Amino acid sequence: METMADDASPPYWTLLSVLFSTQPLTPTLAMTLHQAAYDLYRRGDSVGQVAGDLISGKVHNLRKDVHLGGITGPAFEAEIDTERGSGVVRFLLTRQGLEMMEAKPPSSRSKPPMLN
């Protein structure tokens, strides 16, 4: 599930806060993890796959809220494989980011249709 931020998307640092990462995260990787975690959060699922050209692995919904200073939100852990190797990322979806995503119409959150 490789995603790219469109021009209307908020910056990834508004959407998620990385608590720990053994791999450097590019904006594209951060947005891909955000989308996988947001989908898990919306569905209430525990584990989801993340896959694309630059990443593969699993995202786990830890089913608890984390408070880091003034930032709070649901916690996630990803076990990923990238072109730089395997790693673990622990992060949270920010409440501000969740509110922004829920305020968007559903059609702007989904992938655009493929054109022939």
Residue 60: helix, strand or coil by DSSP?
strand
Mean pLDDT over all residues of the chain?
A: 83
Tell me whether residue 110 is in a domain: no
Indicate the pTM of the whole model: 0.78
For residues 23 and 85, give the distance between their C-alpha atoms in angstroms, rounded to a whole number: 8
Judge whether 111 lies within some domain: no
Which residues form the domain of 43? 12-101
Classify residue 108: in a domain, yes or no. Answer: no
Instruction: Please count the structural domains in the chain.
Output: 1
For residue 36, tell me if it sits in a domain: yes
Residue 113 lies in a domain: no
For residue 46, being part of any structural domain is answered with yes
Is 109 a member of any domain?
A: no
* pLDDT surpassing 70 at residue 114: no
pLDDT tens, residue by residue, 2-22: 444 444 566 666 788 899 999
Please state, for a pLDDT cut of 70, what percent of the chain lies above it.
78
Strands 55-68, 71-82: pairing kind = antiparallel
Tell me whether residue 116 is in a domain: no
